[in-house]
């Protein structure tokens, strides 16, 4: 049971380069999320997708774009990487229902460094 799979696990970019972080889940969850976690800090929501075909901005969307490719996959793209985007990126998925006690399931994270 893979859960939430993120690729790559590590990446180093130069300022101005672009890249896409991939995320896939096999739990048939409707909702998917992208967070960033800076050292010693909490998770900040970048974008989320409540269901296939919809995406919404979170707390810190600037500099990022997302694509909900299908129910399983939710990708995060950095069009022109900046040093301020150096962080650990987590993808998560969850059951959609607001009353649900099912927690988010997280990937292992992508450690991204931008020089």
Partner 1 sequence: AQKITQTQPGMFVQEKEAVTLDCTYDTSDPSYGLFWYKQPSSGEMIFLIYQGSYDQQNATEGRYSLNFQKARKSANLVISASQLGDSAMYFCAMREGATGGFKTIFGAGTRLFVKA
Considering only the stretches 13-21, 36-44, 63-71, 78-86, report the one whose residues sit in contact with partner 1 under the rule CB under 8 A.
36-44
What is the signed CA dihedral for 41, 46, 14, 75, rounded to 10 degrees? 130
Q: Measured between alpha carbons, how far is residue 20 from residues 40, 81, 99 in Å?
A: 25, 11, 33
Binding to partner 1 (CB under 8 A) within 49-78 occurs at 50, 56, 58-59
Q: Which of 45, 61, 67, 75 binds partner 1 (CB under 8 A)?
A: 45
Q: Judged by CB under 8 A, does residue 35 bind partner 1?
A: yes
- Does position 89 interact with partner 1 (CB under 8 A)? The reply is no
Q: Are strands 10-13 and 110-114 parallel, antiparallel or unpaired?
A: parallel
43 contacts partner 1 (rule: CB under 8 A): yes
Task: List, in order, residues 6 or more apart from 42 with CB less than 8 Å away.
Answer: none
User: What is the Rg, in whole angstroms, of the alpha carbon atoms belonging to the chain?
Assistant: 13
Which stretches of the chain bind partner 1, using CB under 8 A? 31, 33, 35, 40-45, 48, 50, 56, 58-59, 88, 90, 92, 94, 96, 98-101, 103-104, 106, 108-109
């Amino acid at each position: 049971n893979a859960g939430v799979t993120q690729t790559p696990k590590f990446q180093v970019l130069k300022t101005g380069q672009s890249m896409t972080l991939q995320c896939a889940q096999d739990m048939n969850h409707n909702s998917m999320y992208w967070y960033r976690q800076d050292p010693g800090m909490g998770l900040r929501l970048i974008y989320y997708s409540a269901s296939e075909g919809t995406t919404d901005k979170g707390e810190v969307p600037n500099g990022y774009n997302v694509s909900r490719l299908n129910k399983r996959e939710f990708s995060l793209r950095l069009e022109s990487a900046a040093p301020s985007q150096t962080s650990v990126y987590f993808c998560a998925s969850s059951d959609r229902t607001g009353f649900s006690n099912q927690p988010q399931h997280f990937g292992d994270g992508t450690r991204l460094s931008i020089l």
